[in-house]
Structures are given as C-alpha cells and as structure tokens.
C-alpha cells in the first residue's frame, strides 16, 4: 500500500503587501501635506481638513497607480477605494450615535431605573432614586396595542393585494397605502386626538397612543408583507389549487406559512418604525410621572415621552435619566430585532 500524499490547498487570494503599502504611504503623505497646508494658510476646520486630505490622497494614489499598474487596473483600484470609503462613511454615524448614547446612558442605569417611577422624585435627587419603570411599561403596552391592531389589518390587506385584488384595484389600494406611509407622525397624533380624545371623550390613554402608532405602523407592515407574499412561488399556489383547495385554504395553509419568516420581518420593521415615535404620544398618552398599568384609562408615560420631558431639564440628574431612557429604548428595539431574527432563522432551518 502506497501512501497517498494528502492534497494541499492553494490560496487563491494573496495579500497585496506592496499595494497596501502604496495606499498607506499615499494616505500618510496626504495627511502631512494637508497639515502643512492648514498651518501656512488661513484654512480651518475638521471637515475641510478631511475633504482636502481625501482629495489629495485620491490624486496621489491615482498617480502612483498609473505609474505602477497602468490606467486600466488603476480605475479598478480607485473605484474599490472610493466605494469602500463611502461605505465606511455611512457606518460612522451609526457607530457614533450608539456609542454616544451608551456613554451618556450607562451612568443612569441604576437598579432604581428599572424598579421605580418618577412620582416621588424631587428635582435634586441623585440618579439612584426614581426610575423609568412606568415609561418602560407604557412603551411596551402602547407598541403592543399598535402591533395587535396593525399586524392583522396589515397582513390581511397584503393578502388581499397579492392574492385576490385585480390589477387596477390593487394599484389604487397600493397608492393609498403608500400615501398613508407619508403621513407625518404628528398628524396621526392629531387625528386620534381630535377623534378619540376630544370628540369621543375617551381622554388621554395608552390605548389612544397605540391607535396613533398603529396608523403609522400599518403601511410599513402592509407593504413589507405584500412584497414578502409576492416572493412565494406561484407554483406552490398552483399545486395547492390543483389539489382542489379553495382560495382561502390555499392562502392559510400554503402561502402564509411559506412566507412566515418574511412576515416576522414585516412586523419587526413596523415596530422599529413606531417604537421611538414621540409626537403622536404627546397628544394621546400625554405622559405621566406615576405608574399606570391600565392602557385603557388615564395618562400614561412612555420612553420617548420620558426622554423628551427630562432632557429639557437643566438639572444633571434628570438629564442622566433621560439618556438612560434613550439607551433602554434602543436596547428594547435591538432585543426585538434579535429575537425576531433568531425566530426566523429557526423557522428557516426547520423547513428550508
């Protein structure tokens, strides 16, 4: 028996050390030259510095590349560099916002923040007294109500659009839904305020806030769900119909289950759309300092209202609490995202 030499893998991508060194040298040169330029001229400002340095870098790098690898591959390289830097640039605000909120919010995250309300908190109390429990409960209830209203309506509308409506009817409804997604959130709040709070005399309540949020959430859920349903292969619908299924059984047993991971995404996008809304809540839930676990009656707080109220306060402790509220709001949305993603991945693994 002869030993078979085990095959060796070959790398198909090579780290271009020389190329990276070129780029690095050009970047360094650009920064140094810009610094000199800014030192000897009246030019000023960080943004200007960045722009000038970037322009210099691109020019220098293009020159070097022309000399080393020729104009054709130069264009390729330059395109890669420009696209990469633009992509990086869009990433910067996200990181900055998250980092800033975490930095500002963490000091306020005391035990009391999750267990107490603001009812008995004096303006000069330290951050370990008083909290946002009432606001967290309010946000969860109001967003929950919005989900309960807009998910059934949104998904049913999407089913109607993708499965039953004729082309002309679908176009009209789609246009209306798109128009609805353009409603400014404060207008949605005003609508609920005049109709429910004033005209019907319901007063301020978490339910009214949930209604206002559902107005904003409905178009997002509908349009996303419709696009997801459109991805279900027509061959599956045909298969179900050819087995003698009535239309609605086909939708319930085949189309919706096949699209379920996408439908979860639709709901998550809807929640993300409304979780941070503040304006409509000002006119519907109004906000409160105490705990109100009954969404059907009385003023209720929410995290955006909590943040809005406290951040305008000049006192250090209140501002810290506001940042902590913002951080918790982000965390809640993030947790929802993660849970939904995990659920979707799990469903996909089960069915494939």
Partner 1 sequence: MTDMSEIASLEARLAVAGDVPGASGGRLEARDVSAWFGKRLVLANVDLTMEPGHVTALIGPSGCGKSTFLRTLNRMHELVHGAAIGGEIFLDGVDIYGPAASPATTRRRIGMVFQKPNPFPTMSIADNVLSGLKLSRIKRTDAGDIVERSLTRAGLWREVKDRLKTPGGDLSGGQQQRLCIARALAIEPEVLLMDEPCSALDPGSTRRVEETIEEISHQVTVVIVTHNMQQALRVSDRCAFFLADENEPGRIVEAGSTTQLFTNPRDSRTEDYVNGRFG
Applying CB under 8 A, the residues found at the interface with partner 1 are 167, 233, 235-236, 238-246, 249-250, 253-254, 257-258, 260, 350-352
Token readout for 5 is 């030499």
At a CB cut-off of 8 Å and minimum separation 6, what does 291 contact? 117, 119, 133, 134, 137
Token readout for 184 is 């400014």
Q: How far is the CB of 247 from partner 1 (least distance, A)?
A: 9
Q: How far is the CB of 336 from partner 1 (least distance, A)?
A: 24
State the sign of the Cα–Cα–Cα–Cα dihedral 145, 147, 148, 154. positive
Which CB atom, from 152 or from 246, has the smaller least distance to partner 1? 246
Q: How far is the CB of 231 from partner 1 (least distance, A)?
A: 12
Which CB atom, from 10 or from 352, has the smaller least distance to partner 1? 352
Which CB atom, from 65 or from 255, has the smaller least distance to partner 1? 255
Which CB atom, from 112 or from 263, has the smaller least distance to partner 1? 263
Which CB atom, from 73 or from 249, has the smaller least distance to partner 1? 249
Which CB atom, from 13 or from 167, has the smaller least distance to partner 1? 167
**Torsion angle defined by CA atoms of residues 324, 325, 326 and 330, in that order, rounded to the nearest 10 degrees:** 100
Q: How far is the CB of 352 from partner 1 (least distance, A)?
A: 5
DSSP string for 127-164:
TTS--SHHHHHHHHHHHHHHHHHHHHHHHHHHHIIIII
Alpha helices (runs of H) in the chain, residue ranges in sequence order = 17-40, 46-105, 111-115, 133-159, 167-181, 185-192, 206-230, 234-242, 247-250, 256-258, 260-274, 279-282, 303-311, 316-351
Which CB atom, from 150 or from 162, has the smaller least distance to partner 1? 162
Q: How far is the CB of 228 from partner 1 (least distance, A)?
A: 14
Which CB atom, from 121 or from 254, has the smaller least distance to partner 1? 254
Residue whose tokens read 């089960």: 350
Q: How far is the CB of 251 from partner 1 (least distance, A)?
A: 11
Q: How far is the CB of 324 from partner 1 (least distance, A)?
A: 43
Could you tell me which of 141, 151, 143 has the C-alpha nearest to residue 267?
151
Q: How far is the CB of 289 from partner 1 (least distance, A)?
A: 48
The burial of 181, by beta-carbon neighbours within 10 Å (0-12 exposed, 13-18 middle, 19 or more buried), is given as middle
At a CB cut-off of 8 Å and minimum separation 6, what does 317 contact? 123, 124, 125, 126, 127
Q: Would you say 300 and 144 are in contact if contact means Cβ atoms under 8 Å apart?
A: no
Could you tell me which of 325, 287, 321 has the C-alpha nearest to residue 189?
287
Q: Please give the DSSP secondary-structure letter assigned to residue 197.
A: I
């Amino acid at each position: 028996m002869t030993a078979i030499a085990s095959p060796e893998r070959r790398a198909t991508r090579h780290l271009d050390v020389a190329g990276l060194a070129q780029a690095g040298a050009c970047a360094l040169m650009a920064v140094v030259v810009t610094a000199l330029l800014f030192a000897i001229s009246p030019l000023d400002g960080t943004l200007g510095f960045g722009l000038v340095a970037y322009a210099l870098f691109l020019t220098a790098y293009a020159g070097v590349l022309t000399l080393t690898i020729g104009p054709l591959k130069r264009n390729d390289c330059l395109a890669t560099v420009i696209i990469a830097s633009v992509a990086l640039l869009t990433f910067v605000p996200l990181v900055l916002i998250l980092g800033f909120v975490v930095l500002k919010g963490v000091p306020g995250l005391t035990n009391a923040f999750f267990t107490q309300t603001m009812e008995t908190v004096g303006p000069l109390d330290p951050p370990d007294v008083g909290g946002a429990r009432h606001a967290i409960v309010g946000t969860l209830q109001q967003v929950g109500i919005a989900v309960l209203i807009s998910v059934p309506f949104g998904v049913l509308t999407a089913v109607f659009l993708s499965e039953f409506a004729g082309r002309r009817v679908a176009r009209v409804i789609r246009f209306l839904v798109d128009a609805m997604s353009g409603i400014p959130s404060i207008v949605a709040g005003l609508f609920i305020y005049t109709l429910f709070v004033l005209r019907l005399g319901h007063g301020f309540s978490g339910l009214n806030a949930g209604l206002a949020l559902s107005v904003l959430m409905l178009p997002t859920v509908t349009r996303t769900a419709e696009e997801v349903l459109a991805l279900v292969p027509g061959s599956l619908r045909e298969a179900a119909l050819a087995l003698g299924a009535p239309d609605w059984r086909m939708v319930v047993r085949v189309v919706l289950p096949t699209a379920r991971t996408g439908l979860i995404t639709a709901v998550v996008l809807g929640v993300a759309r409304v979780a941070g809304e503040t304006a409509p809540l000002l006119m519907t839930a109004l906000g409160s300092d105490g705990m109100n676990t009954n969404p059907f009656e009385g003023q209720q707080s929410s995290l955006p209202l909590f943040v809005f109220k406290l951040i305008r306060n000049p006192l250090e402790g209140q501002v810290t609490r506001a940042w902590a509220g913002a951080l918790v709001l982000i965390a809640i949305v993030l947790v929802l995202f993660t849970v939904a993603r995990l659920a979707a991945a799990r469903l996909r693994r089960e069915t494939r």
